[in-house]
Structure 1
Amino acid sequence: MFMRNSGLIVICLLCLHPLFAQDQKASLVIPIGHTGGVSSVDISPDGKYWITGSLDQTVKIWDWNEMEIRTLVGHQKNVLTVAFSPKTQTDPDGGQYILSGSSDRSAILWDRNGNQIAKYFEEKQDVISVAFSPNGEELLVAFRNGLILILDYQCKERRRFQLPGSELCAAVYSPDGKYIAAAGSQKTIAIWKSTGGASLHTLVGHAQTVNSLCFNADGKFIASGSKDGTAILWKTTGSKEKTFKHNSEVLSVALSPDAQTLLTGGMDGVMMVWDVNSEVSEKYRCSKRELSTLRFTQDGRFIVCASRTEPKTQIRQLNGKIFKVLQGYTSAVKALALSPDGKSLLIAHADSTAKIWNMSNMAIRNLDYPDQLETVAFSPPTATDSIGGTFILTGCEDRMCRLQNIEDNTLITKIPRANQAIFSEDGQYILTGNSDGAAQCWKVGVGELNPLSHSERMVTALAFSLAPGSKAFAIGSRDGKVVFWDSLGANPITINLSNGSFSISSLAFSSDGKYLVSGLKGGSTKLVDLSTRQVVNSSQSQGLSDISAISFFPDKPGSKSKTHTILRAAGKDIEIWNTKTRAVSQFKGHISDVKSIAFSSDGTMIFSGR
């Protein structure tokens, strides 16, 4: 299917069982990196994994080799804080669970496979900090209004603390779990006993809001960073040891395990590395602004830093040199296609590349092109290729379509004067279109059959009939017209669907070839009975969002009844329209407009890209 505009990036796979289940969540997100700034980072106790929370509303799990392993989707707003569970007797390596907090006022407990275990929701306040108790038995969830809750693993409250008269900015456990420290706009730091809740100390020294707190490994020292541009090193007994002056507001602090090195991250995007004894510092620019997250790895050999303004996490050596960068694949999705056997996904990106992924979430092939791709397709099963998927067909903005062998990337042929291309259902023909309003139908291995010219305005959508033995196809254009040919260019019939008001963005045939559905800019979907050439049903997308992709729901093999249920991409949502009942169901999960969709061959999965 053909998409005209690229969007931001995410690929979701949604389960369609039962057919019209509401509020389904993405069961798999192909790793392509964060699309918003990184607000929080944590490292698993064994040092093998990282988690990042982002303003794109997701949590991502990475391994030490910079490979994104999994994306956790469940929050509805910015993820502000994340934490790994510690080592326990039942989890000797640690990291079995993940806790995340968001400005959607919820905290979610996950397992490392991405399953939600429990959720806590507070009606009025953002979640600012989360943590596991060092013994792994309890959860700490701190809210902007100063409320700190200690929860069990069912997110049931056990006890609470209140930071008096303050907007909370940070809350942490001491390494031995005996104390909880919290700070915020009150300019002071409160330290309580974690069990009974008795107040131990109030640390006074900052002139403005305290943004960040951290203990060193043995819990004898605590560091704080403030809007007043300073970081202070304290003994947890209550005495102030030293003050360090940053060049801007301090957003983040970190102490090395031995408390000999202090890191400060500022609003200016600069990290300062301080020798605590000599108070000498080195400066390193880590981001353009707002270096909001800093921490040491457990062994103290590396520094982790991230900014709310950038979708990546840096791992640096102590000398400031970048060692690794966690950023995934960050180019917009232009189009996607699923292989006939359902085992591979082909994704075209806006940086003139394509990637082939297998269903275990790993990229298995990278392909480069001279310009952005507009369409991609796998070859269907044929007499000589019973499984299908041996070839890929691409349409490129350099006005050249390419047929390639997927096994060795051999270029089989180029088709000029076209930037869109699709296979016929039997794989014997290729239909191409271009921005001049011209289209061609090609016999695979033979050459051009019928040069077609149907419109003075650009071709914007192509579709071959899915009916067995049929060679009918249709072409949509920017002027809102669809031209239908009943057999390889014979008997063209023009159907005007919008009187030039809205362009045709996508087309699809029903499995029996009797109906054609079109998606239009402006949000309209129209169903045409090809026997009468008349529009017999229509539907408007929710919120009047443009339709960017469309498809009939696959009928069950051997079924005599045709569902004529239609899948469409409408703005940020995926919608299912039952043409008989006129009911519309929605699937949510993307945070910007969906540009491409595809079904698995058995109709149980939807793939969507933005």
Structure 2
Amino acid sequence: MEGHTGWVCSVAFSPNGAQIVSGSEDRSVRIWDASTANEVIKLEGHTSSVHSVAFSPNGAHIVSGSSDRTLWIWDATTGNEMSKMKGHTGAVYSVAFSPNGVQIVSGSSDMTVHIWDATTGNKVTKMNGHTGSVNSVAFSPNGTQIVSGSEDETMQIWDATTGNGVRKIKGCTGSIYSVAFSPNGMQIVSGSEDKTVTIWDVNTGDEMMKTQQHSRQVWSVAFSPNGQEIVSGSQDATVQIWDATTGNGVKKIEGHPDQVRSVAISPNSAQILSGSDDRTVRIWDATTGNGVTKMEGHTGSVYSVAFSPNGAQIVSGSDDRSLRIWDASTANEVTKMEGHTSSVYSVAFSPNGAHILCLVQVTRLCRSGMQPREMR
């Protein structure tokens, strides 16, 4: 799949695997048809790079995060911007919907984690504790806990209801760039500046498995839907698949000529999606490691991508300040959302798929799919 004109920073499959979303340094978000590699829709509005994108569980919304310090929520069907939120005092690097779509969590360079009401846009709570920028945040599968990874070389687990700290996990010797819960919520995987992929016990904080086969820092990690495998993307330009129990390498995928910023696994675990600084989004066969297709379209690096919950669409966020929605079956661009004044770092769909949340670097959160409004 080709189309981006800048680095692809983040990619993800929709839940049913029919679509792919990519976020690029070209400031756009693009949705692709996973079968045809055609661009479905292009969303523009961000005024800087889109670093992270994600579909809501039901595929109705997309959230994007950008270096313009804002989060935007978009309607995944129309591409319309729904609303914006502000409250952080620094750039927002990561955002995520809760499994039920009721809350949104964000992590920022201001060293805090915020929880927001996804309906009203009101801030629910603010969590302090990190001593460095918060690079990655994620909800547990049941929505009761949140994990955050930071430049302070620690992860913190938080109670999603009270905002209280549950546990601090130490062990990495570099910034933590990516964190994710296992499907059963019992483990957390981290990708770090120290070139490691590590699995941790949620209840004890103990290290369960660590592997260091990447030759450069690890930008992105993800569990397979069944929790049996982990996929990682690295600055060494490779995608690697690991056995989540033994830590043994299953497959090393090469093909990108530049570093891999984001990885995702399709809902059926059959395909792997990657976004790279080579400005492309690529789909790989998870069994053979062979390239399936390549998409291009953004005019800047793609930092984040995500599938809609039903897999019919893909959203991508880019450095071109736009989000794009793509039809996963045809790869045609459905719509392009514009409005941000800086890079879009993170995007995600709300659980019902009706809204898109995006994160940009002007300390705002925004939501699309309804009459735009400012959220505090």
Fold agreement, TM-score > 0.5: yes
User: Which 5+ residue runs of structure 2 have no aligned equivalent?
Assistant: 1-43, 342-369
| Aligned counterparts, 1:555-574, within 5 A | none
After superposition, give the CA deviation of every residue in 1:454-510 in whole Å (9 maximum; x if it has no partner).
xxxxxxxxxxxxxxxxxxxxxxxxxxxxxxxxxxxxxxxxxxxxxxxxxxxxxxxxx
Out of 146, 149, 160, which is 2:156 matched to? Answer: 149
Name 1:604's counterpart in structure 2: none
User: C-alpha distance in 2, partners of 1:198/1:231?
Assistant: 26
User: C-alpha distance in 2, partners of 1:154/1:362?
Assistant: 29
In 2 relative to 1, CA 150–40 (structure 1 residues): closer, same or farther, beyond 3 Å? same
1:145 Cα shift?
Answer: 2.0
After superposition, give the CA deviation of every residue in 1:409-446 in whole Å (9 maximum; x if it has no partner).
xxxxxxxxxxxxxxxxxxxxxxxxxxxxxxxxxxxxxx
1:138 Cα shift?
Answer: 1.2
1:95 Cα shift?
Answer: 0.6
After superposition, give the CA deviation of every residue in 1:231-288 in whole Å (9 maximum; x if it has no partner).
0011211221111112211111111112211111111211111122333312222434
1:206 Cα shift?
Answer: 0.6
| Aligned counterparts, 1:18-97, within 5 A | 33-64=45-76, 65-86=78-99, 94-97=100-103
Out of 132, 135, 141, which is 2:142 matched to? Answer: 135
After superposition, give the CA deviation of every residue in 1:316-370 in whole Å (9 maximum; x if it has no partner).
3446723334524579xxxxxxxxxxxxxxxxxxxxxxxxxxxx8369xxxxxxx
More RCO (CA 8 Å, sep 6+)? 2
Q: Does 1:177 align with 2:185?
A: yes
User: C-alpha distance in 2, partners of 1:290/1:330?
Assistant: 16
Q: Does 1:243 align with 2:252?
A: yes
Name 2:216's counterpart in structure 1: 208
Aligned 8 A contact 1:263 1:294 in 2: no
In 2 relative to 1, CA 169–163 (structure 1 residues): closer, same or farther, beyond 3 Å? farther
Secondary structure, aligned partner of 1:292: strand
1:78 Cα shift?
Answer: 1.8
| Aligned counterparts, 1:373-388, within 5 A | none
User: C-alpha distance in 2, partners of 1:323/1:45?
Assistant: 21
Opposite residue 277 of structure 1, the aligned amino acid is T
Aligned 8 A contact 1:40 1:306 in 2: yes
Aligned 8 A contact 1:56 1:77 in 2: no
Aligned 8 A contact 1:41 1:293 in 2: yes
Name 2:264's counterpart in structure 1: 254
After superposition, give the CA deviation of every residue in 1:37-72 in whole Å (9 maximum; x if it has no partner).
222223222222222222122212222221211101
User: C-alpha distance in 1, partners of 2:336/2:228?
Assistant: 32
Aligned 8 A contact 1:58 1:75 in 2: no
1:203 Cα shift?
Answer: 2.1
Secondary structure, aligned partner of 2:301: coil
Aligned length: 297
Task: Give the share of equivalent positions with the same residue, in percent.
Answer: 31
User: C-alpha distance in 1, partners of 2:230/2:325?
Assistant: 23
1:295 Cα shift?
Answer: 2.8
Secondary structure, aligned partner of 2:136: strand
Opposite residue 296 of structure 1, the aligned amino acid is F
1:98 Cα shift?
Answer: 0.3
User: Which 5+ residue runs of structure 1 have no aligned equivalent?
Assistant: 1-31, 87-93, 332-359, 364-588, 590-610
1:171 Cα shift?
Answer: 0.9
Secondary structure, aligned partner of 1:52: strand
In 2 relative to 1, CA 34–306 (structure 1 residues): closer, same or farther, beyond 3 Å? closer
In 2 relative to 1, CA 79–63 (structure 1 residues): closer, same or farther, beyond 3 Å? same
Name 1:98's counterpart in structure 2: 104
Secondary structure, aligned partner of 2:302: coil
Q: Does 1:222 align with 2:230?
A: yes
